[in-house]
Amino acid sequence: MNITIFMLNILMVSLIANIVIALYGLIFKPNMIKKIISLTIFSDTASIIAVVIGYRFGKLPLPPVYMEPSNPDYIYELLSRSVDPLPQALVITAIVINLSFIVFLSVITLKLYDVFGSINLHLALRREVIERIEAEYETFEE
C-alpha cells in the first residue's frame, strides 16, 4: 500500500466529509449564525481543495516565487519544480469574495435580530406570518 496515496485519499475524503457537514449545516440549521459558520467552512474547504489540486509531486517542490531574480537560469528550476500558481491566484480572489459575502450576511443577521427579535429563521418567519394575519384581521374588523 502506497503511504503517500493513502494519506492523499484520507485528506480528500476528510475534505469531502467537511463539505457534506457544511452543506448539512447550511440547509438544515435554522439559526443564521450556524448558517454563516457552515458557509465559511464550505467556502474554505473548496479553497483548500483547489490549492491541493495544484500541488506538484516528484522532486522537492518550490513555491511560485523567483527567489533569485538576477539569475536567468532560475526559470528552468521553477519550471521543473514549482507548484501550480494558477489555483492559488484564483483562490485569493475566491477568499475575498467569500469574505465580502459573509460580511454582508452578518450585517443582515444583525438587522434580522433588530426587526424580529430572533436569528432563528423559523421563528422569524412565524412572527412575520402572525403579524400579517393580525394586520389583515384588524383591516377586516374595520
Partner 1 sequence: MLLKLKVIGVLVVTVIAVVVSAILTVNNITLIPVRSDLNTLSKWILSFSYNPLHPLFTALTPAIVNAIVWDYRSIDTFFETSVLFAAVIGAIVIYYEYLYEKPPRGKGLSPIVKSVVKISMFIAVGLGLAIALKGHMTPAGGFQGGTVAAAIIYIMSMTYSLHWLYIRNIRQVSMLTFRTCGLISLVIVAILPILVGLLTGCNAYILQNQPKINAPIGYSYDVGDYRVSLTILMFNIFEFLIVLAAFTLLLMILSIASMEKRFPE
Contacting positions for partner 1 (CB under 8 A): 1-2, 4-6, 8-14, 16-17, 52-53, 55-58, 63-67, 69-70, 72, 75, 78-79, 82, 84-86, 88-90, 92-93, 96-97, 99-101, 103-104, 106-108, 110-111, 113-114
Spatial CB neighbours of 59, under 8 Å, sequence gap ≥ 6: 80, 81
Distance CA 93, CA 2 (A): 35
CB of 42 to partner 1, least distance (A): 17
Q: Which residue, 106 or 137, has its beta carbon nearer to partner 1? A: 106
CB of 135 to partner 1, least distance (A): 24
CB of 127 to partner 1, least distance (A): 17
Q: Which residue, 109 or 127, has its beta carbon nearer to partner 1? A: 109
CB of 97 to partner 1, least distance (A): 5
Nearest to 42 by CA among 23, 69, 67, 64: 23
Q: Which residue, 27 or 59, has its beta carbon nearer to partner 1? A: 59
Spatial CB neighbours of 31, under 8 Å, sequence gap ≥ 6: 119, 120, 121
Radius of gyration in angstroms for the set of CA atoms belonging to the chain, rounded to a whole number: 24
First to last CA, the chain: 80
